[in-house]
Structure 1
Amino acid sequence: MAGLKSFHDFAAMAAFSAIFFTSSCKKDVVKDMDGETLPQKIRLDIPSNFPKATDDPDNPLTEQGVALGRLLFYDTRLSGSNKLSCASCHRQELAFSDGVARSNIGESGQPLPRHAPALINLAWAKSGLFWDGGSTNLESQAFGPLTSADEMHQNLSELEDELKAVPDYVKRFKDAFGTGVKSASIVKALAQFERTLISANSRYDKYIRKENGAALTDAEIRGMALVNTKCRSCHSGELFTDNGYHNNGIDSDFSNASLDGLFQGRSRITYNLLDLGKFKTPTLRNVSLTAPYMHDGRIKTLKDVLEHYNKGIQVSPTTDVLLFQNNGEAGIPLSLQDKSDIIAFLNTLTDEQFIRNTKFNKPNLP
């Protein structure tokens, strides 16, 4: 990837001190032999109840890279018409989702075939991006919406020229990657910023970490127990996703070959018929903010989602065996009280600090 060798050449000239990505930490300035400031490595401040996150060796987090990525994320120059940014479909107040089933605000004006996923805890997304896992990492994923005729429809060479015309961007790319403005560095910067979008300060988190004053109601505790017994096989761990792929029974017929096989889910990528109808497990974190639901946004409310799992599962040869919880039949039996309690618990996963974090909001653009 362009810029990678030069970054490593710079990095080899000096040892970096490990620092946390928090505003309270002192950051030592490191320079090379020519007196040029080197990118300052940072590492994510991982909450105690979260699993360890590993840095990407090909795109390590730096203060300069993250700051550049944040600017680019909100900059409409990234679209061919200069009207759309990444943030147009990933709004912070909605946990970086967009609130619609299939957006039509892209360059073509056509509804997208899939629902824009929320951007939450992507530092742990190591098993593919997009609903079918068609992209292996955040860097390659970014090229999809940037160049899609239905989304941002940007010519990458033209984008480079646009950003090269902005002196502040020219300096920032050199500071972050030791290179000029390159499309490969654009997606690397976006990926660095997106990996800092950690949501871990919901009421649930504070309760689990036994922070002072943290408590859940009886209904929320009952809902947590129900989620743990009925939903955790897929929505597992503190990330509330296994980052895997499952056929959750929203369709039973995948023979329609239109839309380049997008109905087929994971099998479109693996060419394995056993993956028909399997889509990536979304996190339950901030789920109350990220409606509508499913890969195409067809289900409008959490109540409707629970009713789907209760009585709406369509059976096909690849329907996940985890869904056969009704005496061997498809479905997860849920009473009205169960549904109410589960929704009460899911509301505790809303992270108000995440959607108001000033490190993530729109900066002053150059």
Structure 2
Amino acid sequence: MVFLLFCLLGTGCGASEYDPEVPANLAEAVPYPARNPLTKEGVALGRKLFFDPALSGNGKISCASCHQPAKAFTDGKALSTAGITGKQLQRHVPTLVNVAWMDGLFWDGGAKDLESLSFGPLTHPDEMGQNLAALVQKLQQHESYPGLFKKAFGSDSITSAAIGKALAQFERTIISGNSRYDKYVRNEKGTMLNDKELKGLVLFRKHCSSCHTSDFFTDNKYHNNGLDAAYSDENEALAFGRGRITRKPEDIGKYKTPTLRNIAITAPYMHDGRFATLEQVLAHYRTGVKNSPTLAPELQQQGKTGIPVSAEEQTLIIQFLQSLTDDAFINAPVADN
């Protein structure tokens, strides 16, 4: 019966179920939609597609051109120029860490799930600049892709939907949860945080965890964190953030709370990469928050904007954040092609 169900769901009848290991302080298992269960063959196909520049219109740009494993699947730039036209993009490249648990994707939540996530970058004229029909034809004529799609999905007739599913399967395996902080909260032998990091953790939980919740370090919601006092409606209201998607005035200026995992190696920061260092980020929250009608209530305390921390406390919080770097994840063979 399970074998038949997998076939009916569109998963290759020869495909093997895949259950990635999940750190205990994150979740019990990787979630996925019934229409796209994880299989070893689907994940392997998605990984190959992710690193393959053939997916772009000029055959030179892969998903990994901007989402680089060594930088926790970011690119280290404020606004990328790695796309097919070389034009500067208008959003900072977000990490793909633990996207399996994300509710809404992109900085404004414009993609509802991982199955639809890739089509924007694939077809955007300044990113991968690909025509989906041309991509399907290219992969159909490839020496190995038809066989790989048949193993993963039961048919060597390649579709754009199957491309999206394969990429989504791989992206659900991009899991980070083995930093020193994780080992500390799991009470793993021989792992400790030093005194300054522990003080920083206390301060973090007091001042930052209302939005960067749980061990995913995100509440999966959208907030206006006071970067600007006004938001232009030019360029298709790109500056509206979440408001651009919902068209609700109360969402203008709100952006998705990013995870803080591996934050020390994913600079620069914010949806437009405006801050080069963590020191600049914390300084913004201390003294740089700008008021506007949709400013997050958490940034309006005691009749003032911002978060009331001292310069010394700022330093301690940053020292804690550095304990969130997951070296095993950054160097994992599964993250390479």
**Normalised TM-score (structure 1):** 0.88
Q: In the alignment, does 2:218 pair up with 1:241?
A: yes
Structure 1 residue 105: Cα displacement: 1.5
Structure 1 residue 336: Cα displacement: 1.8
| Separation in 2, partners of 1:270, 1:169 | 38
Answer whether contact 1:113 1:259 (CA < 8 A) is retained: no
How many residue pairs end up in the alignment? Answer: 333
2:50 alignment counterpart: 73
1:348 alignment counterpart: 323
Structure 1 residue 315: Cα displacement: 0.3
SS in 2 for 1:167: coil
Q: Percent identity?
A: 49
2:129 corresponds to which of 128, 147, 153: 153
Give the letter for the 1:10 counterpart. Answer: C
Answer whether contact 1:103 1:111 (CA < 8 A) is retained: yes
1:309 alignment counterpart: 285
Answer whether contact 2:211 2:218 (CA < 8 A) is retained: yes
Segments of 5+ residues of structure 1 without an aligned counterpart are: 1-5, 17-35
2:7 corresponds to which of 6, 10, 20: 10
Judged with a 3 Å threshold, the aligned counterparts in structure 2 of structure 1 residues 293 and 356 are, in CA distance, closer, same or farther, namely same
Answer whether contact 2:13 2:153 (CA < 8 A) is retained: no
1:108 alignment counterpart: 85
| Separation in 2, partners of 1:57, 1:289 | 34
Structural mapping, 1:213-232, within 5 Å: 213-232=190-209
| Separation in 1, partners of 2:7, 2:45 | 18
Q: In the alignment, does 2:234 pair up with 1:258?
A: yes
Structure 1 residue 252: Cα displacement: 1.3
Structure 1 residue 7: Cα displacement: 8.8
1:323-359 Cα offsets, whole Å, 9 max, x none, are: 123x231111221211111111000000001111101
Structural mapping, 1:200-211, within 5 Å: 200-211=177-188
Give the letter for the 2:208 counterpart. Answer: C
Answer whether contact 1:246 1:320 (CA < 8 A) is retained: yes
2:19 alignment counterpart: 43
Answer whether contact 1:42 1:61 (CA < 8 A) is retained: yes
Structure 1 residue 45: Cα displacement: 1.7
2:269 alignment counterpart: 293
Answer whether contact 1:7 1:178 (CA < 8 A) is retained: no
Answer whether contact 2:55 2:61 (CA < 8 A) is retained: yes
Give the letter for the 2:7 counterpart. Answer: F
Structure 1 residue 275: Cα displacement: 0.4
Structure 1 residue 168: Cα displacement: 1.5
4+ residue segments displaced more than 3 Å: 6-9
Judged with a 3 Å threshold, the aligned counterparts in structure 2 of structure 1 residues 134 and 221 are, in CA distance, closer, same or farther, namely same
Give the letter for the 2:251 counterpart. Answer: D
Structural mapping, 1:137-152, within 5 Å: 137-152=113-128
SS in 2 for 1:80: coil
Give the letter for the 1:341 counterpart. Answer: L
Structure 1 residue 42: Cα displacement: 1.5
| Separation in 2, partners of 1:12, 1:149 | 33
1:58 alignment counterpart: 35
Structure 1 residue 166: Cα displacement: 1.8
Task: Report the RMSD for the aligned CA atoms in angstroms.
Answer: 1.8
Structure 1 residue 123: Cα displacement: 1.0
SS in 1 for 2:334: coil
1:37-59 Cα offsets, whole Å, 9 max, x none, are: 62111123221111344222121
